[in-house]
Structure 1
Amino acid sequence: MMLRGQMMTQPLLISALLTHAETYHGDTEIVSRTVEGPIHRYTYRDAAKRARQLANGLISLGVRPGDRVGTLAWNGYRHYEIYYAVSGMGAVCHTVNPRLFAEQIAYIIEHAEDTVLLFDLTFLPVVEQLAAHLKSVRHFVLLTDRAHMPAHTAIPDLLCYEDLVNSHSDRYAWPEFDEETASSLCYTSGTTGNPKGVLYSHRSTVLHAFASSLPDSLDISAESCVMPVVPMFHVNAWGLPYSCTMNGAKLVLPGPKMDAISLYELIESEGVTMTAGVPTVWMMLLQHCEKNRLRIHSLKRVIVGGSAAPESMIDQLAEHGAELRQLWGMTELSPCGTTSTPKFKHRDSATAVLRSLQTKQGRPIYGVQIRIVDDAGEPLPHDGVAFGNLQVKGPWVLSQYFRRDLDASHTEDGWFNTGDVVTIDPDGYMKITDRTKDVIKSGGEWISSIELENILVGHPAVAEAAAIGITHPKWDERPLMVVVLKPGASATRDELIGFYEGKIAKWWTPDEVVFVEELPHTATGKLQKMKLREQFRDFRWPE
């Protein structure tokens, strides 16, 4: 018979994160650029008080445990308060991506059956367009003060957020309940078919915050000043509103202004030490600094996810004194799965070895298991050579999509199929070579579209590049590069193809380059290869 330990049992609840920050980091700042314009400053103590007021306000609107409360909002202090008030009272915080098409937004809100929708001024026109079709929503709340409420609106009985908060007491005791209770809900971007919901629990969220705070993960502490550029409507800003609160880090929220000038100003004025977002954001920031001969002073670490970062970006950030750290994850993983931090044995390694590690998606953080399998589901070796389909397990990996039957996303023994094709080396470092649907198969062999893209983005004239497989009469498929040049830059097809020489196997070298004004992206900033394949489906190789 097993001997049980004699330790206290206490549920892992999101409300406890804010209570801890209020108690021990009460004077630490949360700084937000508001939709209305001005910079807003307050503390964790202020945020906790207003979150309790908001919880009372939501109860007055009839919100009950288990109800879904939707948001359409930027990274700001009001959105932060909603995170904690909604989950803390036992309801479900449902962040909706406002960059999706109106029809997708409506589908997501109705599928989740949101009872209340809180939204920023930016999205008033979208909500006015959709309000009559959102049958589950009983109350619409505009995230602003009385002075900025619209004089006329198509939304009946539109409520003012500040009125709702300020008309209620901050006397509220966060309830205790089962840690497996649902806390928040995010939907996948839905590049194919309808978006799918991922329903997180309090337990999974708190465990994810612990793990993502570790030095080998995102390395967050009370000494940190963190600016999540990744939106709070995209996988909970990679969990940063939770991990920063857990550790009492200063939090800087950039609001709706994601341009290079605005981000640079916030980094410099607030002393940001760590920031996180997709590679296109950092390309934009680095180009701004290069053009205007600016230096980034406080930044120590940049977390990059969503797509692979090219080696040229690693070098450029290093010139500013900042380390680039790759993060791999998915909505289905809350999202953190792996990070590209080196090990003790790498401490005296040559720059080339360290750069090689930084270009990989990294090794699993504690709690996440990874493996690769072939198309028959048989495990493949972790030798850094074998390509396989990536599968994952862990306490913050979804077991089933919200309101969907079990499907092929999971194996019989409980592994989740990510859809990524990767290698894993003996040290556990995983490198994505492609998405299952994006890999280029030429003459029966695989070519990594991601590697082709990363190399070409290192060319000084190239702003963005996408590699897609185009049907070839002899080789099944061959890679076509679709390229956006930097403003004012020029390059020829032969010059760009020649840029690959000595960097990859000769048969990997793309056969053709086409230049375009822009590439299609998803609402979360990822390249839409499917749209590119559709755009170039009639492409014919030169004789």
Structure 2
Amino acid sequence: MSKPLLGQMMDMPLNVSMLLTHAARSAGDTEIVSRRIEGDIHRYTYRDCERRARQLAQALIRRGVQAGERIATLAWNGYRHLEAYYGTTGFGAVCHTINPRLFPEQITYIINHADDRYVLFDTTFAPLVAALAPHCPNVKAWIALADDVHMPSIDAPLLGYEMLLAAEDGDFEWPILDERLASYLCYTSGTTGNPKGALYSHRSVVLHAYAAAMPDAMGLSARDSVLPVVPMFHVNAWGIPHAAPMAGAKLVFPGKDLDGKSLFDLMEAERVTYSAGVPTVWMGLLAHVRSIGARFTSLERTVIGGSCCPPSMLREFEEEYGVRTIHAWGMTEMSPLGTLARLNWEQMQRPLEERRRLLDKQGTAVFGVEMKIVGSDGRELPHDGVAFGDLYVRGPWVIERYFEGTDSPLVDGWFPTGDVATIDRDGFLQITDRSKDVIKSGGEWISSSDVENVAVAHPDVAEAACIACPHPKWGERPLLVVVRRPTGLALTREALLAFYEGKVGKWWIPDDVVFVDELPHTATGKLLKVKLRDMFRGHVLSSVQEGATNV
């Protein structure tokens, strides 16, 4: 048998530091703009960013931080947070981004579970840090992302970020690391149980950045001005802090002000061409633009993910404002990129309604991600757009096990996502529900997300959630919980249910509608259905009271 012939190429490890070094060398004068916690606008370049990231690495090493140790962040999107991304991972430490919107008890658990050595925090979170510090004994010091003028006063071991950097000269070479070493630690924001950690490698992060920057993925370019609304504390802002330096794109960070007016003003001032965020954020932005009769003068594209995007929002962005929207899906366990809704040349030739039908879905898998759907018997289901089952994925940036976990969740090498989905012959994924949220009525499944999408298409509906409610005959029936727009307070249950006629099968029409002032959300903006189910646990459907049903 002949000996396998190996390629004769350099075996150069993929390191996260390469991304920022590349940006500093090939796009060194490109701006990074931040609305700071202090209230002003900060500007500098990729070249400045890399120098300061090297200074941070020096400062942490001087304080005894070793490769593999976790350095946490509690921070908004800004230039200092970006420096922390690279100043920690660049020398082999692990950057652990913490979601400050979680309950304090969950944050305490996360810090202790990760065994964080230092925590870098924006000063808006000083009260939170003061409450956390007594319960996090292994944290050596809390580092305020501030200069000496803006240092908070709290009863905890405290260091100042700018003072730490000022003591270093930045004359530091990034070491070449084994690409399999850990780089980032991101915890899930699950609705039940303690959050679980996904520990990414240098290799997975760089490959994910390559995939994200591809033209038919997130499609970042050196010609773009990119504003990531998705927080850097949530799954690494979907990889934008890595893909943007790879592409050499201008970065615009919004800080803590994520209301519609603040985002619109910053987008216009910095000529933002590209943005990314969850549907709840875009609701606020569109409401503001609508209220003042404004137009976007530079925004061309936006990625919408985090939860299913209502088709009505996609239409409004594109048809009213000329902003091309990219529907996306992913998970913390996937770093997070999985699919994006883009049409190929052949699909672009199809009738408008068919193109819309495809773009309303979560899209096709990016290169590197494989998907399949599996039935209750464990067998793979056909990709016909009809059969739906449990969604499984695998790929080089999908986790093999959770941080400090003893057992792998994989099934025959595939990760079970917990989503119920269909995949059509074009390869387009459509998430029909989370497995725990699907409504089973009379032995048949109803997609709560499809029911919600019809509701939010009504001009008087701001937001809607569909949950299962017990029914004596059918087991479960859909209950629709709705937030009306300020201009639509006259909307009635009967009018909204009539709006469903002809849009879905009759048996999918909710049996009841409840109007509320607001809906509960998770720390990452997703509908908190577990809380809704608890709130309406004793609700008696109108159909039960009336002895009728839509089935």
TM interval, shorter chain, is over 0.9
- Asked if structure 2 preserves the Cα contact closer than 8 Å seen for 1:212 and 1:218, the reply is yes
User: In the aligned structure 2, how far is the partner of 1:483 from the partner of 1:63?
Assistant: 50
User: In the aligned structure 1, how far is the partner of 2:308 from the partner of 2:100?
Assistant: 24
Q: Secondary structure at the match of 2:397?
A: coil
User: In the aligned structure 2, how far is the partner of 1:302 from the partner of 1:453?
Assistant: 22
1:479 aligns with 2:481: no
User: In the aligned structure 2, how far is the partner of 1:218 from the partner of 1:457?
Assistant: 26
Partner of residue 298, structure 1: 298
Matches within 5 A, 1:317-396: 317-318=317-318, 319-396=320-397
What is the CA distance between 1:132 and its match in structure 2? 1.4
- Asked if structure 2 preserves the Cα contact closer than 8 Å seen for 1:308 and 1:359, the reply is no
Partner of residue 456, structure 1: 455
Partner of residue 521, structure 1: 521
Partner of residue 276, structure 2: 276
Amino acid at match of 1:470: C
Matches within 5 A, 1:1-80: 1-80=3-82
For residues 354-384 of structure 1, the C-alpha deviation after alignment (integer angstroms, 9 at most, x for no partner) is: 2111110011000000000012211000000
Partner of residue 86, structure 2: 84
Partner of residue 470, structure 1: 469
1:241 aligns with 2:241: yes
User: In the aligned structure 2, how far is the partner of 1:422 from the partner of 1:282?
Assistant: 24
| Runs of 4+ residues over 3 Å off in structure 1 | none
- Asked if structure 2 preserves the Cα contact closer than 8 Å seen for 1:61 and 1:139, the reply is no
- Asked if structure 1 preserves the Cα contact closer than 8 Å seen for 2:479 and 2:541, the reply is no
Q: Secondary structure at the match of 1:239?
A: helix
Partner of residue 172, structure 1: 172
Partner of residue 130, structure 2: 128
- Asked if structure 1 preserves the Cα contact closer than 8 Å seen for 2:189 and 2:522, the reply is yes
Matches within 5 A, 1:77-156: 77-150=79-152, 152-156=153-157
Partner of residue 311, structure 1: 311
Q: Secondary structure at the match of 1:380?
A: coil
Q: Secondary structure at the match of 1:267?
A: helix
- Asked if structure 1 preserves the Cα contact closer than 8 Å seen for 2:401 and 2:407, the reply is yes
What is the CA distance between 1:350 and its match in structure 2? 2.5
- Asked if structure 2 preserves the Cα contact closer than 8 Å seen for 1:297 and 1:320, the reply is no
User: In the aligned structure 2, how far is the partner of 1:499 from the partner of 1:268?
Assistant: 37
**Which one is further off, 317-326 or 523-532?**
317-326
What is the CA distance between 1:167 and its match in structure 2? 1.2
What is the CA distance between 1:62 and its match in structure 2? 1.1
Partner of residue 434, structure 1: 433
Amino acid at match of 1:42: Y
- Asked if structure 2 preserves the Cα contact closer than 8 Å seen for 1:468 and 1:479, the reply is yes
Q: Secondary structure at the match of 1:432?
A: strand
- Asked if structure 1 preserves the Cα contact closer than 8 Å seen for 2:141 and 2:156, the reply is no
1:417 aligns with 2:416: yes
What is the CA distance between 1:220 and its match in structure 2? 0.6
User: In the aligned structure 2, how far is the partner of 1:114 from the partner of 1:94?
Assistant: 8
What is the CA distance between 1:192 and its match in structure 2? 0.8
User: In the aligned structure 1, how far is the partner of 2:268 from the partner of 2:541?
Assistant: 49
Matches within 5 A, 1:483-522: 483-490=482-489, 491-522=491-522
User: In the aligned structure 2, how far is the partner of 1:430 from the partner of 1:129?
Assistant: 43
User: In the aligned structure 2, how far is the partner of 1:394 from the partner of 1:200?
Assistant: 13
Amino acid at match of 1:322: V
Q: Secondary structure at the match of 2:203?
A: helix
User: In the aligned structure 2, how far is the partner of 1:427 from the partner of 1:353?
Assistant: 12
Q: Secondary structure at the match of 1:389?
A: strand
> Tell me, which stretches of 5 or more residues in structure 2 are unaligned?
546-551
What is the CA distance between 1:205 and its match in structure 2? 0.1
For residues 209-256 of structure 1, the C-alpha deviation after alignment (integer angstroms, 9 at most, x for no partner) is: 000111111001111111100000000000000000111000011000
Matches within 5 A, 1:160-309: 160-309=160-309
Amino acid at match of 1:276: A
What is the CA distance between 1:293 and its match in structure 2? 0.2
- Asked if structure 2 preserves the Cα contact closer than 8 Å seen for 1:55 and 1:85, the reply is yes
> Tell me, which stretches of 5 or more residues in structure 1 are unaligned?
none
Q: Secondary structure at the match of 1:375?
A: coil
- Asked if structure 1 preserves the Cα contact closer than 8 Å seen for 2:334 and 2:398, the reply is yes
For residues 482-507 of structure 1, the C-alpha deviation after alignment (integer angstroms, 9 at most, x for no partner) is: 00011232200011001111111111
- Asked if structure 1 preserves the Cα contact closer than 8 Å seen for 2:89 and 2:184, the reply is yes
Q: Secondary structure at the match of 1:12?
A: coil
What is the CA distance between 1:321 and its match in structure 2? 1.3
- Asked if structure 2 preserves the Cα contact closer than 8 Å seen for 1:67 and 1:92, the reply is yes
User: In the aligned structure 1, how far is the partner of 2:195 from the partner of 2:474?
Assistant: 35
What is the CA distance between 1:191 and its match in structure 2? 1.1
User: In the aligned structure 2, how far is the partner of 1:88 from the partner of 1:354?
Assistant: 43
- Asked if structure 1 preserves the Cα contact closer than 8 Å seen for 2:71 and 2:119, the reply is yes
- Asked if structure 2 preserves the Cα contact closer than 8 Å seen for 1:54 and 1:85, the reply is yes
User: In the aligned structure 1, how far is the partner of 2:266 from the partner of 2:337?
Assistant: 25
**Which one is further off, 361-370 or 484-493?**
484-493
For residues 156-176 of structure 1, the C-alpha deviation after alignment (integer angstroms, 9 at most, x for no partner) is: 3x1111101111111000001
**What fraction of aligned residue pairs are identical, expressed as a percent?**
57
Partner of residue 549, structure 2: none
Q: Secondary structure at the match of 1:98?
A: coil
User: In the aligned structure 2, how far is the partner of 1:143 from the partner of 1:22?
Assistant: 22
**Which one is further off, 297-306 or 438-447?**
297-306
Q: Secondary structure at the match of 1:488?
A: helix
For residues 437-457 of structure 1, the C-alpha deviation after alignment (integer angstroms, 9 at most, x for no partner) is: 000000000000000101110
**Which one is further off, 483-492 or 7-16?**
483-492
Q: Secondary structure at the match of 2:168?
A: coil
User: In the aligned structure 1, how far is the partner of 2:28 from the partner of 2:154?
Assistant: 38
User: In the aligned structure 1, how far is the partner of 2:127 from the partner of 2:154?
Assistant: 9
User: In the aligned structure 1, how far is the partner of 2:177 from the partner of 2:48?
Assistant: 25
What is the CA distance between 1:398 and its match in structure 2? 0.1
For residues 396-421 of structure 1, the C-alpha deviation after alignment (integer angstroms, 9 at most, x for no partner) is: 000000001115x310x210000000
User: In the aligned structure 1, how far is the partner of 2:310 from the partner of 2:461?
Assistant: 12
Output the aligned Cα RMSD. Answer: 0.8
- Asked if structure 2 preserves the Cα contact closer than 8 Å seen for 1:277 and 1:303, the reply is yes
What is the CA distance between 1:349 and its match in structure 2? 2.4
User: In the aligned structure 1, how far is the partner of 2:41 from the partner of 2:58?
Assistant: 27
What is the CA distance between 1:315 and its match in structure 2? 1.5
What is the CA distance between 1:541 and its match in structure 2? 1.9
For residues 47-94 of structure 1, the C-alpha deviation after alignment (integer angstroms, 9 at most, x for no partner) is: 001000111011111111000001100000000000001000100000
What is the CA distance between 1:272 and its match in structure 2? 0.8
Q: Please, what TM-score do these two structures have when normalized by structure 2?
A: 0.97
Amino acid at match of 1:349: R
**Which one is further off, 311-320 or 387-396?**
311-320
What is the CA distance between 1:316 and its match in structure 2? 1.1
